Amino acid sequence: MDLFAFIKPKNELEGSEEKTVNQPYVPDEMWVKCPACGTMLLSTDVEENDHVCFKCNHHFRLNARQRIELLADKGTFEEMDSDLESRNIINFPEYDKKLKNSKISSGEKESVIYGVCNIGNIRTVLVCMNPDFMMGSMGTVTGEKVTRAFEYATENRLPIVVCTASGGARMQEGILSLMQMAKTSGAVKKHSDAGLLYITVLTDPTTGGVTASFAMEGDIILAEPKSLIAFAGPRVIEQTIRQKLPRDFQTAEFVQDKGFVDKVVSRHYLKDTIKNILTIHNYGEVE
Amino acid sequence: MSAYDKVCAARDANKLTSIDYINNLFGDSFLELHGDRNFADDKAIIGGIGMLNEIPVTVIGLEKGRNTKERMERNFGMAHPEGYRKALRLMKQAEKFHRPILCFVDTSGAFCGIGAEERGQGHAIATNLMEMMALKTPVLSVFIGEGGSGGALALAVADEVWMMEDSVYSVISPEGCASILWKDSSKAPEAAEKLKMTAQDLFDLGVVERVLRQPKAEDKKMFESLKILICRTFEKNLAVDGAELANLRYERFRKFGN
């Protein structure tokens, strides 16, 4: 985890730019503190436990590379459009700087990564959003990559798994970020009309424009325990209605209870669950 | 006029609302249809059927209300999930009978509240975006005031989007943007400028097809020419095969940020 990344010396952070993109960021800190129960955990232990706290089952946030490592069969992930990068299309103040900093701190070029891989030996398109990159916000390149992922899956008659993590639309790209909601939804619809399977995995946090587009359009919607899943975030609602919200409001379990998530699945069983769903939908294993 | 002046003009309480447009364009032929068949009738969205000259049309509008009492009743034009679901129900009905769909957009955004979240605001908007993209009947959206984010887009996945010259359309309110980015909502005028949210800015970005002059309440002539313009667009699109029309709609949105 890079919970302590901010106290690292500046030159070391800058060095992370040169890392090959395919390598997950491996922390050298020995201990991490569980934000939910406060227990100090040996970071190697946490890593071996799928980044889940032994004591309270808190699911630490994963970046996109860690998520791919969790779900894709070893060595099968082939990334696509890895070179696409956002530009400051409407000349929004300070956006260039923000993009640069996000690239440096995350080691990624955008808030989403996609490609094709095997999951339990079944060929699948896999899309993972990156909460490390501007909180997974959806800009035009994010929307473009998600759209291309669906188009690729439709053309090749493949199922698709999308792991969401996003603060919503990226306001620094103005209306064009909003348009990505419609664009991605159109691509989902074409994939769906072709009779193909789309599994969504909602992870912490999934909010705003992503919730109101492809996150909620899956045939089967899974969610990680205790993830925040919302259209409007809790702070916005508290400001609007001027009252405190119940504690479990907008957690994955709450959203399942209200009927908008098929199943909350612990990270330990996520890959097996996805493999099982793919099998039930008659997607066969590759030779 | 600065961008923020336009935002204020778009929010002006004396501005014509969807009901005014519907009355002026459809007259007595308009029949309001209520409810989403699931939960309730959301009064923030008004919908129904009527005749536009010789063309039967389904019309749906976000309605802010014209006085304090109405505004309370209509939740200031901020729809709940059941509002978006009602809209989609009427659109599917329009598709069945191959009627064109006319949407009026005027909202600060989808409502943020406990009930809205519990009933799946995100899901309701997402479903509209996905289903509207594939409607095999013409869809035209006209922005007549505020176009607030996903709550506006949920009625604006259309073949063409038109805006009144004093209307705005944005991913976030300028106040929200300023308070998130600069921790100071009084910098809203600057945010309005930078977000490129006025009708003219959006026309320049290629996000809208037409910028129209705002009709005045009593100006029958202007409504008449608006009616002709809408009818012509519908006639043109009714001649296109439904599946092809849906494809063209997808292509329209596909190009943004390509």
Q: Residues of B with CB below 8 A from A252's CB? A: none
How far apart are the C-alpha atoms of B235 and A27, rounded to whole Å? 62
Q: Residues of B with CB below 8 A from A175's CB? A: 169-171, 195-197, 202, 205, 207
Q: What mean pLDDT is reported for chain B?
A: 96
**CATH 3.90.226.10 domain range(s) in chain A:** 61-280
**Residue from B75, B82, B85, B129 to probe the interface with A (highest A Cβ count within 10 Å):** B129
The residue behind tokens 């997808």 is B250
* Beta pairing class for B55-62 and B101-107: parallel
- Give burial (CB, 10 Å; 0-12/13-18/19+) of B100: buried
Q: Which fold has domain A61-280?
A: 2-enoyl-CoA Hydratase; Chain A, domain 1 (3.90.226)
Half-sphere exposure of residue A240, counting CA atoms within 13 Å on the CB side? 20
User: Residue A151: which residues within 8 A CB-CB, separation 6 or more?
Assistant: A187, A190
Give the pLDDT confidence score for residue B30 in this predicted structure. Answer: 98
Contact B134 A189 (CB under 8 A): yes
Give the pLDDT confidence score for residue A13 in this predicted structure. Answer: 46
Give the pLDDT confidence score for residue B130 in this predicted structure. Answer: 98
User: Residue A163: which residues within 8 A CB-CB, separation 6 or more?
Assistant: A64, A67, A71, A126, A127, A128, A129, A201, A203
Give the pLDDT confidence score for residue A2 in this predicted structure. Answer: 54
Give every residue of chain A whose pLDDT is below 70, as ranges: 1-28
**Residue from A112, A177, A183 to probe the interface with B (highest B Cβ count within 10 Å):** A183
- Give burial (CB, 10 Å; 0-12/13-18/19+) of B195: buried
Pick from B141, B129, B151: which is nearest to B59 by CA?
Answer: B141
Of A175, A213, A231, Cβ closest to residue B171: A175
Q: Residues of B with CB below 8 A from A234's CB? A: none
SS3 state of residue B127: helix
Contact B195 A175 (CB under 8 A): yes
Contact A250 B177 (CB under 8 A): no
Nearest CA in chain A to B180: A171
Nearest CA in chain A to B198: A175
Which H or E run contains B59?
strand B55-62
Q: What is the CA radius of gyration of chain A?
A: 18
How far apart are the C-alpha atoms of B187 and B177, rounded to whole Å? 9
Contact A216 B207 (CB under 8 A): no
Q: What is the pLDDT of residues B46-73, one digit of tens each?
A: 999 999 999 999 999 999 999 999 999 9
Q: Residues of A with CB below 8 A from B126's CB? A: 185, 211-217
Q: What is the pLDDT of residues B138-183, one digit of tens each?
A: 999 999 999 999 999 999 999 999 999 999 999 999 999 999 889 8
Q: Residues of A with CB below 8 A from B119's CB? A: 258
Q: Residues of B with CB below 8 A from A217's CB? A: 126-127, 130
Of B119, B121, B170, Cβ closest to residue A175: B170
Contact B195 A215 (CB under 8 A): no
| All domains of chain B in start order, with CATH | 3-249 (3.90.226.10)
Q: Residues of A with CB below 8 A from B134's CB? A: 186, 189, 193
Ramachandran region, residue A155 (left: φ > 0; alpha: ψ -120 to 50; beta: rest) = alpha
Q: Residues of A with CB below 8 A from B116's CB? A: 231-232
A113/chain B closest Cα distance in angstroms: 17
Give the pLDDT confidence score for residue A7 in this predicted structure. Answer: 53
Ramachandran region, residue B4 (left: φ > 0; alpha: ψ -120 to 50; beta: rest) = alpha
Q: Residues of A with CB below 8 A from B123's CB? A: 216, 260
Provide ipTM, 2 decimals: 0.97
Give the pLDDT confidence score for residue B36 in this predicted structure. Answer: 97
Give the pLDDT confidence score for residue A30 in this predicted structure. Answer: 84
Q: Which residues, in sequence order, are bridge partners of residue A129?
A: A112
DSSP B82-101: HHHHHHHHHHHHHHHTT--E
Of B112, B153, B169, Cβ closest to residue A232: B112
B27/chain A closest Cα distance in angstroms: 33
How far apart are the C-alpha atoms of A114 and A119, rounded to whole Å? 14
Q: Please, which contacts does A48-56 make with residues 24 or more away whose CB atoms are closer than 8 Å? A: A50/A267, A50/A268, A51/A1, A51/A267, A52/A266, A52/A267, A52/A268
Which H or E run contains A126?
strand A122-129
Contact A185 B129 (CB under 8 A): yes
Contact A186 B197 (CB under 8 A): no
Per residue of chain B (258 residues), give pLDDT as tens: 899 999 999 999 899 999 999 999 999 999 999 999 999 999 999 999 999 999 999 999 999 999 999 999 999 999 999 999 999 999 999 999 999 999 999 999 999 999 999 999 999 999 999 999 999 999 999 999 999 999 999 999 999 999 999 999 999 999 999 998 898 889 999 999 999 999 999 999 999 999 999 998 888 999 999 999 999 999 999 999 999 999 999 999 999 987
Contact B195 A171 (CB under 8 A): yes
DSSP class of B67: S
A41/chain B closest Cα distance in angstroms: 34
Query: What is the value of pTM for the model shown?
Result: 0.92
Contact A237 B195 (CB under 8 A): no
